[in-house]
Amino acid sequence: MAQKKDDQTKLDSSRITDLLPGYNCGICGYARCDEFTGALIKKWTQLEKCRFLLQEIFEENREELEELLIEEKIIPEEEKIIGLLDGYEADIRLDPLPDEKSCREVLFPFTRAELKEGDTIKYRPLGCPIIHFAKILSSENGLITVHIIGPCHRLDQDAEFEYLDIGLCMVGGFEGIVQGKVPDVGETVRFLPGHCMMQKVHSGVVVQVEGRRIIIEGIDLKVWAPPIKG
């Protein structure tokens, strides 16, 4: 019986390895794909560490891997994504791109101040009561792409922390990695940005999909759906 169990484990391991890209690139932190498989089975790493699985050409492999890992109880079944503030159910959660701390946001700043890459800004998104702090990744044609770095309550304690207060901004778009079923281009979705301090469900239209990496525009904090009841 023990031998049969060992054979089954080897078979499952082989199935997982066969579904991986097979590049043995080491980006995931393991030298070979079979080592990454072993780490997955032992729950030492996450599927998202393989960046190639985020590409569109490996989308079917990733979906099959997720089903297999759920079946083997290596990863949990998908849970409902519920906003804490309003109790709405989101279609997806939007997580950061690899090695980034938050989803990317595209902002329309209502200021004439010159903004450039690397600047830290303080602002309030239109329709949101929370003051945000963010670092600018790029600035082009009046739009800025940022990473959220938090409320930064230590302002008076950190002399090295400098920022530009640019007041009100309109959030035009989000970019990140989908957790949940990947939506279609043109689809209106309810989504929860993983870094949202209020954990409030947003809505918008999907304008670009590449594997599990998507861009959502036409952002709104109003969600036209009934809240989930306990």
Instruction: Tell me the β-bridge partners of 165.
Output: 122
Domain ranges of the chain: 2-71, 81-220
Specify the pLDDT at position 85.
72
Q: What is the CATH number of domain 2-71?
A: 1.10.15
pLDDT digits (tens, 9 = 90+) for 129-164: 889 999 999 999 899 999 998 776 544 455 456 889
- Please write down the long-range contacts of 18-26, taking CB distance under 8 Å and 24 or more positions apart: 19/61, 19/64, 19/65, 19/68, 20/50, 20/53, 20/61, 20/65, 21/50, 21/52, 21/53, 21/58, 21/61, 23/52, 25/52
pLDDT digits (tens, 9 = 90+) for 213-230: 999 999 998 887 655 555
**pLDDT, greater one: 30 or 11:** 30
CA-nearest of 45, 47, 36, 46 to 13 is: 36
Alpha-carbon gap, residue 185 to 196, rounded angstroms: 23
The DSSP result for 153-166, as a single string, is TTTTT-TT---EEE
Specify the pLDDT at position 88.
82
Specify the pLDDT at position 159.
47
Specify the pLDDT at position 221.
87
* Neighbouring residues of 199: CB distance < 8 A, sequence distance ≥ 6: 83, 84, 85, 192
Beta strand pairing call for 188-193 and 202-210: antiparallel
Specify the pLDDT at position 81.
73
Specify the pLDDT at position 4.
44
Specify the pLDDT at position 160.
59
Tokens in use for 6? 């060992």
Specify the pLDDT at position 136.
95
pLDDT digits (tens, 9 = 90+) for 28-44: 999 999 999 999 988 88
Instruction: Tell me the β-bridge partners of 53.
Output: none
Specify the pLDDT at position 5.
45
pTM of the prediction?
0.67
Specify the pLDDT at position 1.
43
Whether the Cβ atoms of residue 181 and residue 67 lie closer than 8 Å to each other:
no
DSSP class of residue 226 equals: P
